[in-house]
């Protein structure tokens, strides 16, 4: 979230669009916050035009160099409580169809037989998974927005690290997800965060700009994925493991079926099973120690 607010150019445009569409704050408000934290001038004309289009927004005195961007600009015409409630319902409504399709469609494609046997159960499980994931994302948006609003109630100056802290606190909403799902979400956002951090460090000349560095990085990551698929498949997500095995089967990840014995082989095995007890009984008789009676020896 720090990269989205302060360094949006370090994130892919699709990532930015997704956050803007699911979030309750306009891009112009984020730009004003970014300019203010960097000590630059705020675009008063654009903000005035933006606020004039909002119905119910009260008059706000705009400055080029404010100490902090108030909540009345971040969410005009609404109180902080109304804004958070609207953000929760709006995020849930926008993202539920997306998460439902991400839950339902892969299961049907990868487990078609189970779906045909009991489609109602599959549909119900998909709804539960989508509600859980959508609730997580809604909680994330609300917590992030609430931290920013609370900061503006108690502080008079903004700081860019606030958005790093707000993103970290909002990340606690992942506890509402299943334990296995938390790891998947972490692995989903980790590459984007690492890529953004790399961009920022290179831009600040703290790291060298290596040309085509993503190629060896991709090879390294794919090598790690295939290694864990073959030797430690339990460490991978079931969906990813099943997807790779469906399109890329191997002898280790998909072991060959056991030897299919013919009738002659089965008959020989049954004879061997019958002969083994007889052989063991004979060996016991021959190897068992002979019992001697002292009266059988003359003179004793």
Spatial distance between the Cα atoms of 23 and 92, rounded to a whole number of angstroms:
11
Query: pLDDT tens track of the chain, all 300 residues?
Result: 999 999 999 888 888 888 888 888 888 889 999 999 988 888 888 888 888 877 656 556 778 888 888 888 888 878 889 889 988 998 999 889 888 888 888 777 777 787 788 888 888 888 888 899 899 999 999 999 999 999 999 988 888 899 999 999 999 999 988 887 888 788 788 888 888 888 888 888 888 888 888 788 889 888 888 888 888 888 777 777 777 877 776 444 444 444 444 544 454 455 455 555 554 555 554 444 444 444 444 544
pLDDT at residue number 4: 92
Whole-number pLDDT of residue 270 = 54
Handedness of CA 76, 81, 86, 88 (dihedral sign): positive
CB contact set of 141 (below 8 Å; sequence gap of 6+)? 22, 23, 24, 87, 88, 91, 170
256 secondary structure, DSSP code? P
Specify the pLDDT at position 242. Answer: 77
C-alpha–C-alpha distance, residues 140 and 34, integer Å: 21
Length of the chain in residues, anyone?
Answer: 300
Dump strand ranges (E) for the chain: none
Q: Quick one: the chain helix, strand, coil %, rounded to 5?
A: 70, 0, 30
What's the confidence (pLDDT) of residue 288?
47
Measured distance CA(102)–CA(204) in Å, rounded: 38
């Amino acid at each position: 979230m720090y990269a989205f607010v302060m360094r949006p150019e370090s994130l892919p445009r699709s990532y930015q669009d997704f956050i803007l569409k699911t979030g309750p704050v306009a891009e112009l408000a984020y730009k004003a916050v970014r300019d203010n934290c960097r000590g630059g001038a705020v675009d008063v004309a654009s903000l005035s035009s933006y606020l004039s289009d909002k119905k119910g927004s009260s008059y706000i005195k705009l400055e080029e160099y404010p100490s902090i961007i108030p909540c009345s600009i971040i969410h005009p015409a609404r109180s902080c409580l109304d804004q958070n409630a609207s953000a929760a319902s709006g995020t849930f409504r926008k993202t539920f169809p997306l998460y439902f399709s991400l839950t339902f469609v892969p299961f049907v494609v990868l487990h078609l037989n189970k779906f045909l046997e009991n489609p109602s159960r599959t549909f119900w499980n998909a709804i539960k998974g989508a509600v859980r994931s959508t609730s997580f994302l809604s909680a994330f948006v609300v917590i992030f927005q609430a931290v920013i609003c609370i900061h503006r109630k108690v502080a008079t100056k903004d700081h860019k690290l606030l958005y790093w802290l707000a993103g970290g606190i909002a990340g606690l909403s992942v506890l509402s997800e299943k334990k296995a799902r938390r790891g998947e979400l972490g692995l989903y956002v980790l590459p984007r965060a690492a890529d953004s951090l790399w961009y920022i460090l290179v831009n600040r000349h703290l790291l060298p700009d290596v040309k085509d560095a993503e190629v060896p990085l991709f090879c390294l990551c794919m090598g790690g994925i295939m290694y864990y698929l073959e030797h430690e498949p339990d460490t991978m997500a079931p969906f990813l493991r099943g997807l790779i095995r469906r399109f890329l089967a191997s002898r280790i990840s998909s072991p060959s079926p056991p030897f299919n014995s013919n009738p002659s082989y089965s008959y020989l095995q049954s004879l061997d099973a019958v002969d083994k007890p007889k052989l063991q009984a004979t060996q016991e008789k021959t190897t068992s120690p002979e019992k001697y009676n002292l009266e059988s020896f003359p003179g004793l």
